Amino acid sequence: MPSLIHRATPGAIPHDVRDLLPRFGFSLPKLLTTSNPKLNKGAALGHGRALILHHLPAKALARAIRPANDGSTAARGFIPSLLELAEREGLTAAALAHNGCPWMTAGCGSAEGGCLNFSGHGGMGQTVAAARGRRTLAMLANPEAYARAVLWSVARHYAAAQLAGENLAVRLRGTDEGPNSSGGWHGMPVHITPCEALSLRERYGFETSPHTAAPITERLAANSGLAVYEYSKAPTSGPLGLIAQRAAGVDVTASFAADRPTACRDGLAALREGFRLAIPVAIKKGAPIPSSVTISAGGDSVTIPTIDGDLSDHRYRDGFGAVILRTKLSRGAGPVADLFSLRGHESAQPLADGAVTLSWLS
């Protein structure tokens, strides 16, 4: 482990990364988010540092570059700077076709859905939306160079965390599911040369194997004191599924989609495979969360304990159970967003393929 972080000379950063990032207005230290209310809560609890990578979700990039898009809020509307950047980089067609959330439902990913991308600072004006859009365009421009940029950025933060005697956690699917056309972060091969591996080790104390084309998640998870965690609406099986993500070193929390036709069956499938399940519930901040959740479908029923998901974002520290997330205000959301969350009561809530019942200790 180096005693300090070496100043990054031109040779320290791969040429494709040094070419890509400035074109889209980024530098390595600013590529990932290092602070938000939930990350700060986790840090205060002694859980260590964390990083989140944010892109525009679902079809939000396509909407952002359409001049005719009259969004319900500025963040959901037309962003001229993103259209100019897409046209300059020859990415307009790719941006219009991009879907960052292949498993979105209407309640979360539609034009007026309840996506958390538009909560907090993400829903206040266009500054955050534009930055997330520029990251998304950079990913579309050169997915592997972008992945390498993310790797180098994480390595810098990892070195700083190690020097401070803290662990580091990384979440790459902050507001989307990543480069799904390339097999996701857990499937897209990232090439590292022997010189690059040596530079990462000497400068940042970051270990990674050269020659092999391992995914970024495997490269990150191979380092002591570095955890890779995600929320995902992906199906349990398949090349982009929860099991495949876990096999690549990711601690995955499955996301419950209440408005999906197979919501209950999908939730039960994830639980059977040992994944914790994140469930948005429309209860007020400070109100007690339910003590247990029962999911029923097709004669099958499972009751699981709950975890307060608002105390920290460090899901990889949680055990098995239902992670209750109090529904956050998504600015500009319409009535369809109500389908995104369960209601905060004890009566059975019928869904398309079953029912969910929340229970509080009396």
C-beta atoms surrounding 184 within 10 Å = 26
Cα–Cα distance for residue pair 300/200, rounded to 1 Å: 50
pLDDT at 177 (0 to 100): 93
Query: What is the 3 state secondary structure string of 233-249?
Result: CCCCCCCCCHHHHHHCC
Q: Are 334 and 112 in contact (CB under 8 A)?
A: yes
Give the pLDDT band (50/70/90) at residue 11.
low
Whether the Cβ atoms of residue 139 and residue 179 lie closer than 8 Å to each other: yes
What's the pLDDT score for residue 188? 85
Helices (H) and strands (E) in the chain, counts: 12, 11
For tokens 């990054």, what's the residue?
Answer: 8
217 φ/ψ angles, rounded to the nearest 5 degrees: -65, -40
pLDDT score, position 38: 79
Q: What angle do CA 312, 345, 356 make, to 5 degrees?
A: 80
3-state class of 193 per DSSP? coil
SS3 content of the chain, % helix, strand, coil (to 5): 40, 15, 45
pLDDT of 10:
42
| 117/36 Cα distance (integer angstroms) | 13
Q: What is the pTM of this model?
A: 0.93
Contact present, 281 and 288 (Cβ < 8 Å): no
Quickly count: other Cβ atoms within 10 Å of residue 301's Cβ: 14
CA 42 – CA 194 distance, rounded (Å): 36
Amino acid at 359: S
Dump pLDDT digits (tens) for 299-337. 999 999 999 999 999 999 999 999 999 999 999 999 999
What are the pLDDT digits (tens) for 102-161? Answer: 999 999 999 999 999 999 889 999 999 999 999 999 999 999 999 999 999 999 999 999
Contact in structure between 292 and 281 (CB atoms under 8 Å): no
SS3 173: coil
The mean-pLDDT minimum among 2-11, 99-108, 224-233 falls in 2-11
Q: Per-residue pLDDT averaged across 201-210, rounded?
A: 95
d(CA 169, CA 309): 16
